[in-house]
Amino acid sequence: MTDEGDAAPDGRSRSKGEWTAVDAPRSDGEPEWELFLRESPTEPLRHAGSVTAPGPEAAHERATGLFPEATTLWCCPAPEIARFTERDLGSDYRAAGDGGERA
């Protein structure tokens, strides 16, 4: 991640409430693949999550198992995707015994 005051890709200075790069790997070993899908031909493509897999065919197989309803499925190498967030990724989750559901 960048330090406070560093420039974001769009030139904005990073400060509280602005975009923060998400660049830490989420797993060890196998490469990560970002999944984009649509469930009907008229629906826009949307980000659905990620999987780890040794290659694109295995990523597609894993993604198809997770999203069998998808009519279109893209598996993109995670290092090729620039990821940014405006929030603390843990702040939306409740700690009370709800299984980590979103607040």
**Residue 41 counted as domain residue:** yes
Query: Which ranges in 1-103 belong to alpha helices (H)?
Result: 56-66
Can you give the residue range of the structural domain that contains 52?
Answer: 33-83
**Residue 56 counted as domain residue:** yes
Which residues are CB-neighbours of 52 under 8 A, at least 6 positions away? 27, 29, 30, 31, 32, 33
As for how many domains the chain has, the answer is 1
Tokens 């940014």: give the residue: 84
- From the list 67, 72, 70, the residue with the least C-alpha distance to 51 is 67
pLDDT digits (tens, 9 = 90+) for 9-36: 555 444 555 666 656 666 568 899 999 9
**Residue 103 counted as domain residue:** no
- From the list 19, 17, 22, the residue with the least C-alpha distance to 1 is 22
**Residue 12 counted as domain residue:** no
pLDDT digits (tens, 9 = 90+) for 56-79: 999 999 999 999 999 999 999 999
**Residue 65 counted as domain residue:** yes
